[in-house]
Chain A
């Protein structure tokens, strides 16, 4: 870890200005990821701008009937917020499937979007990594890649985005409100994270110095039929091998609306709208779900250690859609525990 200075921003404008005027700055809120990155010498900012004094920790209804989640509200406060639990139970379930209570108490909503991959090679500076050091190569390709991507990867990078919360946000089609040196803008969730391509060092589409100030959930919360299914190597405090956020709107047993987002399989929360469209107007049955699962994974490519994720992904999609159809309440204490 290198020496750094720390200021605590009082206003969003001040934070953005501080960032613009500093050499090698970074924002810090909960610090649950950037501190690790600094200890491992993966990130070496020389100036940290603390965000926890900003007035961004509220969760409030919007005029459009949605819900605005402040960027510095903690993951725990968000997951347990009555409006979130009642209207967006998918989001609550996804957040609680992530990390541990201690981490969720510290981690913030904005930070959750900004967390970096957990690729082993990214964290170990003794090995090559194009994301950490562009041009150095990808250690994970041809190496140990159990937690790596099967969709949308590139020859430069097969890392995955590790978030659970973001998978639910992708399914719910949230919007990301940001403020930067050029003013404020709104980014659709599907446009926020990006695929690695030839620039894997870029995780998302933020411009330098842009700061997330809020996440906005649309009115529709799919509170009747939802499921967040997370498969991992232990029941808590482990990143997803495959996770599925599934939401449905049913008319009887016919699917009126549906969304699927996958975690643990790509550089960003994975949506496949063409595959989702196969659900619309169809009966909510296992055979329908299997067709969709096939479609979602049809272009999946294994990297060796993670080949199993392709079949696991198919099965997880089917199970998640079955659970969503059934109503989404955690039916399996082993799979859906929220410790």
Chain B
């Protein structure tokens, strides 16, 4: 980048690192509050039916058990659905915990046992007898192939896919054609940290709620609306998340249950879910996709059809943008896209890292590999031939797009030119070796957010915004932006987040936090800078008199003229001369709607993978992954790289291991624990390299950032699947690639 910066774009360490590794960083279940009672959730053992009885009496007889909450005694709450809708709720009727006797999904919370100690509550919950009247359930999307329907627009961010040209005609006339179905099962977010809420009930009846969430304001609004509280009565705090990956976008039922119990019992309550219950709070839906493609004699895409069917719940219409990316990533004039959902007796799915795109890019990019082979073309060359110079789906130019540079850089680093085209042409002893390529595209989004910057007389700056931190680096990059804007050392800047007493920020998701909160932080610091300039100009003999904000710069704790840097004042002197103890400025940043209308704003990546497959035993090891990302400007090389490293691990997991397996006879997930829901261990992870091709993008947002949280995952599973094909000649179209699929 040509911009000369001191902190932005460099690689400072995580500012919250010491707090995390020394254990002083507090998570939602760790806040100590006085007179705390403990709630343990009792989960439904059936997938559908009615609760006949709750055997509360036996449990209530135990000394120390305070209450058993169920539909039989749940206090009245808001009546209309709109009160229960959070910012991220899809269309439909949100789930209301303990609302009535109806069981809508397996592991639905049916009771909350509250006791003086956690151990007692757990014991009491374990012996609570709940009787059900079972009804017939349906949990298998593969039995619903013919019952899909196009979803409505109820979910924010859902874009009904747009078709163009005449795909059927073009397919008929194509030189080469493929048509295949691609499937992945249900996956769960499985953050390390369990969902938990510690509700501090104050003597005046007000609540301070420490909740595991990706959006404190979203939770506050939910609690206020559901329980009829004023926002002043419910402060929500979340300082750290031990991972969330989208599972914390919506309020989870531990929040409702702990607040309800605290209000009823008029004392502080904590509810922590079990690992098993973590499989009842939303998931990446089991998804079926069909892709058809055809090529022209010159190897360009003649037609592309992408159809998707995924599950939703009976009560909400969850939707994902699964197929849209297929109309955007490659140049193709004849595209038919269709997205359908079918309702099942499961809990509502929930956005999980790169929702829609992780699923869609898997199918699209494996299909592209199949198409390349059908047309006799190198899979990377095939992609370059079909490079999209503009976003045909919106008919707009890209605000910036250096994917072609990613292709070339990646190919060179990976030595792609040495790859023989034919499958099964590389081996080492028993091991077949394969190389695969795939990539993806993700939205560069920005939302509205506010921030407040305060500088004290001693020259320390604090910036606040109620953003979330999932371990991605938000604390660090915001500190960098603030320090950069006001020319202060990093040590003199503190960024605080995750508290509804702070200026509002949206939920942390969609990879928009860097752009959204970053711009708000920059703007608040600029507003504070303007105040500081005015104060500096009031100083006797100020060298800055008459200067505008554009004429000055903040460097090394000084305010100085750009054209004459020796003409400067020390910030601390400005503050002390002003006599103010502190000076603050708020600001709200909103996206530039004009630029959004004029440009398609997206990040892109390409992934190269090498696998080694045991020829006899089918075991797959991913020996090498290179992920090249073009995501605008990179604010922190270290945290951005870490994000992409984590994404690659996730992609390896998606390709080889992850699946929540239901037993449809019980309508229940059977591997609902960390021992049997597999994610990689260190020994599964080998060489991962991450490269950034930085883009100068004056349109996307003032910081020029596109976000990196989702992008890194795209294409990883497909690149591995394609590499497995290259190694073995076997095309796997259903994830995960367990060893038995290669026997």
Q: Which residues of A come within 8 Å of B, CB atoms?
A: 1-3, 41, 100, 118, 120-121, 123-127, 139, 142-144, 146-147, 231, 233-239, 241, 308, 311-312, 315-316, 318-319, 332, 334-335, 337, 339
Contacts and interface: CB of A to CB of B under 8 A. Distances in A.
Given A126-B106, A335-B619, 15 more contacts: A1-B126, A3-B119, A118-B675, A120-B671, A124-B276, A124-B668, A127-B666, A142-B665, A234-B657, A234-B684, A236-B681, A239-B675, A318-B616, A319-B616, A339-B683
B740 A312 contact: yes
Contact of A315 (B617, B671, B683): B617
A2 B126 contact: yes
B614 interface: yes
Given A143-B665, A312-B740, A234 B676 contact: no
Interface in B644-689: 656-657, 661-663, 665-666, 668, 670-673, 675-676, 678-684
Contact of A123 (B621, B673, B679): B673
A319 B614 CA distance: 11
A120 B665 CA distance: 14
B198 interface: no
B448 interface: no
B420 to A, nearest CB: 23
A231 B670 contact: no
A124 B678 CA distance: 18
A124 B662 CA distance: 13
B616 A126 contact: no
13 contacts: A1-B126, A3-B123, A41-B126, A124-B672, A126-B45, A126-B106, A144-B670, A146-B661, A234-B656, A234-B683, A234-B684, A239-B675, A334-B619
Given A308-B740, A312-B739, A334-B621, A121 B670 contact: yes
A339 B682 contact: yes
A233 B618 CA distance: 11
Contact of A2 (B123, B617, B661, B680): B123
Contacts of A315: 616-617, 743
Given A139-B663, A144-B663, A316 B617 contact: yes
A245 to B, nearest CB: 16
B638 interface: no
Given A126-B45, A127-B663, A311-B743, A120 B738 contact: no
B453 to A, nearest CB: 45
A139 B670 CA distance: 10
* Most chain A CB within a 10 A radius of its CB, from B46, B670, B675, B682: B670
A237 B678 CA distance: 9
B609 interface: no
Given A1-B119, A1-B126, A334 B612 contact: yes
A305 to B, nearest CB: 9
- The residue in A315, A334, A335 that gathers the most chain B C-beta atoms within 10 A of its C-beta is A334
B612 A237 contact: no
Interface string B579-619: 00000000000000000000000000000000010101111
B683 A126 contact: no
Contacts of B676: 118, 120, 147
Contacts of B624: none
A229 B739 CA distance: 15
A151 to B, nearest CB: 17
A139 B666 contact: yes
Contact of B670 (A41, A120, A235, A335): A120
B122 interface: yes
Contacts of A120: 670-671, 676
Contact of B668 (A1, A126, A308, A334): A126
A235 B617 contact: no
Nearest to B739: A231
Nearest to B676: A120
Contact of A235 (B665, B673, B683): B683
* Centre residue among A1, A235, A316, A339 by max chain B CB count within 10 A: A235
Contacts of B276: 124
A179 to B, nearest CB: 32
A1 B122 contact: yes
Nearest to A318: B616
A239 B675 CA distance: 9
A319 B621 CA distance: 18
A319 B665 CA distance: 37
A335 B668 contact: no
A147 B276 CA distance: 19
A100 B119 CA distance: 27
A308 B683 contact: no
B275 to A, nearest CB: 10
A235 B743 contact: no
A124 B743 contact: no
B661 A144 contact: yes
B735 to A, nearest CB: 13
Nearest to A162: B675
A141 B114 CA distance: 37
A146 B675 CA distance: 14
Contacts of A332: 430, 614
Contacts of A235: 621, 681, 683-684
A335 B616 CA distance: 12
Contacts of B618: 312
A236 B665 contact: no
A124 B297 CA distance: 57
A315 B123 CA distance: 47
A134 to B, nearest CB: 19
Contact of B663 (A143, A312, A316, A334): A143
Nearest to B679: A234
Among the interface residues B127, B430, B681, B738, which one has the most CB atoms of the partner chain A within 10 A? B681
A239 to B, nearest CB: 8
A312 B739 CA distance: 9
Nearest to B684: A235
Contacts of B743: 308, 311-312, 315
